[in-house]
Amino acid sequence: MLRICAINLYSLACILYSSRVTIEKFLADTPENLRGTILAFADSVKKITAEIGTAETSEAGSQNTFGENQLKLDVLADQIIFGELEACPPVAIAASEEQSNEKVLHADGEFSVAFDPLDGSSLVDSNLAVGTIFGIWKGKGFIGKTGRAIIAAGYAIYGPRTTFTLSLGEKPVEFTLQKNGEWKLSLAKMEIGEGKMFAPGNLRACAENKNYLALLDFWAENGYQLRYSGGMVPDVHQILVKSKGIFSYPGSASCPPKLRLIYECAPLAFIVEAAGGASTNLETSILDEKVLDLDQRTVIAVGSQKEVDRFRKFLTV
Ligand code: AHG
Ligand code: MN
Ligand code: MN
């Protein structure tokens, strides 16, 4: 009886603690330059949230460096984030998925940031959840570095709620945007365990990539739960929240890997590995892949250690 009371008191204390923890309190002991840069992204997400509900989903009539038609929302989210970063002196360089070159913002800044202002933007017209992804790297520039230079990474999800997930290297935490504009801690110290859930991207590659097809068969034959929305951010966040599973996006000759190393894969791999999970590009951790080009794409699987190991085993037969 005493034990049950103790557990209830503990869980009550956790609820009370998290209900009072805002992002500013969580970052109270973080150095000002890093805290300010993270809050610049958190403020951007609030502004994107205010727009995404009613903004047009039509095309902007322009293309990004990947030759993809930009939506007005891609451009709007990009402008909002640059607006915040231009007022953030610690940011020396900013690279966006929607811009062809990195931009020098503050010559004396200590960090370089790479971000995808709106990931999954083609899903907005179907009203599916989309996200913003960012990584904060030590020093100036990205070329020649690996994801090990990332000191903090995070993502937002614009869904039924707006959430902001963040890691500075330790277990990721999630904040939920409140009506009063505060970010309230909603999930503390997320960890990835083992379990049967899969989010298989780029299935069209199976026509040529028979190893991927064999892995799909394994998942189907072994009762894995399919959870795939087409939006990388919610698809990966689900693995953290449910504490299990794998997200994969390999390729084939005619359907090559599409996801970008610095804007999408490295930040998400940083967060998943911080949660005790794993990542792979089939050779190394995503965080050990050297950046040769800002628009570099990579094979990616992120998730629990066992599932990522299985992915690599099947795909490299
Ligand atoms: P973006 O909208 O920034 O171009 O990226 C979308 C990505 C990612 O969210 C998702 O996993 C992947 O596109 C889905 O790709 P397919 O449409 O090829 O399945
Ligand atoms: Mn993207
Ligand atoms: Mn995008």
Per-residue confidence (pLDDT) for residue 63, from 0 to 100: 80
Last residue of a domain, one of 120, 155, 187: 187
Instruction: Give ion ligand 2 contacts, CB < 5 A.
Output: 116, 119, 264
Asked whether residue 144 falls in the same domain as residue 284, the answer is no
Asked whether residue 87 falls in the same domain as residue 229, the answer is no
Residue 209 lies in a domain: yes
> CA-to-CA distance for 36 and 8, rounded, in angstroms?
37
Of the two residues 20 and 198, the one the predictor is more confident about is: 198
Per-residue confidence (pLDDT) for residue 127, from 0 to 100: 95
User: What percentage of residues in the chain have a pLDDT greater than 90?
Assistant: 86
Which residues make beta-bridge pairs with 174?
165, 187
The single-letter code of the amino acid at 83 is G
Q: What is the pTM assigned to this prediction?
A: 0.94
Nearest-CA residue for atom 18 of ligand 1: 202
Asked whether residue 86 falls in the same domain as residue 112, the answer is yes
Asked whether residue 133 falls in the same domain as residue 94, the answer is yes
Asked whether residue 204 falls in the same domain as residue 148, the answer is no
Residue 163 lies in a domain: yes
Kindly indicate the confidence band of residue 312, based on its pLDDT and cuts at 50, 70 and 90.
very high
CATH code, domain with 126: 3.30.540.10
Listed residue (129, 162, 167, 163) closest to 266, CA to CA: 167
Look at the block and give the residue holding tokens 């039509």: 58
- Asked if 132 and 165 count as a contact pair (C-beta separation under 8 A), the reply is no
Cα of 219 from ligand 3 centre, angstroms: 29
Per-residue confidence (pLDDT) for residue 71, from 0 to 100: 80
Asked whether residue 106 falls in the same domain as residue 205, the answer is no
Mapped onto helix, strand or coil, the DSSP state of residue 225 is strand
Cα of 138 from ligand 2 centre, angstroms: 22
Per-residue confidence (pLDDT) for residue 65, from 0 to 100: 77
Q: How many CB atoms are located within 10 Å of the residue 149 CB?
A: 19
DSSP state of 68: P
Residues 6 or more apart whose Cβ sits within 8 Å of residue 61: none
Residue 54 lies in a domain: yes
Cα of 122 from ligand 3 centre, angstroms: 9
β-pairing verdict for 91-96 and 69-71: unpaired
Asked whether residue 24 falls in the same domain as residue 132, the answer is yes
- Asked if 82 and 91 count as a contact pair (C-beta separation under 8 A), the reply is no
Mapped onto helix, strand or coil, the DSSP state of residue 26 is helix
**Strand ranges in the chain using DSSP code E only, listed in sequence order:** 59-63, 69-71, 91-96, 103-104, 111-119, 130-138, 150-158, 162-167, 173-177, 183-187, 197-200, 225-226, 246-249, 278-280, 300-303
Per-residue confidence (pLDDT) for residue 283, from 0 to 100: 98
Cα of 70 from ligand 3 centre, angstroms: 9
Asked whether residue 164 falls in the same domain as residue 203, the answer is no
Asked whether residue 56 falls in the same domain as residue 95, the answer is yes
Last residue of a domain, one of 187, 222, 249: 187
**Strand ranges in 159-261 using DSSP code E only, listed in sequence order:** 162-167, 173-177, 183-187, 197-200, 225-226, 246-249
Asked whether residue 62 falls in the same domain as residue 167, the answer is yes
For ligand 1, residues with CB inside 6 Å are 68, 97, 116, 119-122, 201-202, 230-232, 249, 258
Per-residue confidence (pLDDT) for residue 54, from 0 to 100: 86
Residue 4 lies in a domain: no
Structural domain of residue 217, as residue ranges?
197-315
Asked whether residue 34 falls in the same domain as residue 183, the answer is yes
Residue 5 lies in a domain: no
Q: Mean pLDDT score of the chain, rounded to an integer?
A: 94
Which ligand number lies closest to the CA of residue 300? 1
pLDDT at 107 > cutoff 70: yes
Last residue of a domain, one of 187, 212, 234: 187
Testing ligand 1's pocket by substitution, the residue of 259, 265, 298 carrying the most ligand atoms inside 8 A of its CB is: 259
pLDDT at 55 > cutoff 90: no
> CA-to-CA distance for 93 and 96, rounded, in angstroms?
10
Note the pLDDT tens digit of each residue in 35-47.
Answer: 999 999 999 999 9
Residue 3 lies in a domain: no
> CA-to-CA distance for 19 and 16, rounded, in angstroms?
5
pLDDT at 68 > cutoff 70: yes
Residue 21 lies in a domain: yes
- Asked if 123 and 57 count as a contact pair (C-beta separation under 8 A), the reply is no
Q: How many domains would you assign to the chain?
A: 2
Asked whether residue 152 falls in the same domain as residue 278, the answer is no
Note the pLDDT tens digit of each residue in 263-301.
Answer: 999 999 999 999 999 999 999 999 999 999 999 999 999
CATH code, domain with 263: 3.40.190.80
Residue 229 lies in a domain: yes
Nearest-CA residue for atom 17 of ligand 1: 230
> CA-to-CA distance for 65 and 56, rounded, in angstroms?
22
Cα of 230 from ligand 1 centre, angstroms: 6
pLDDT at 18 > cutoff 80: no
pLDDT at 157 > cutoff 80: yes
pLDDT at 4 > cutoff 90: no
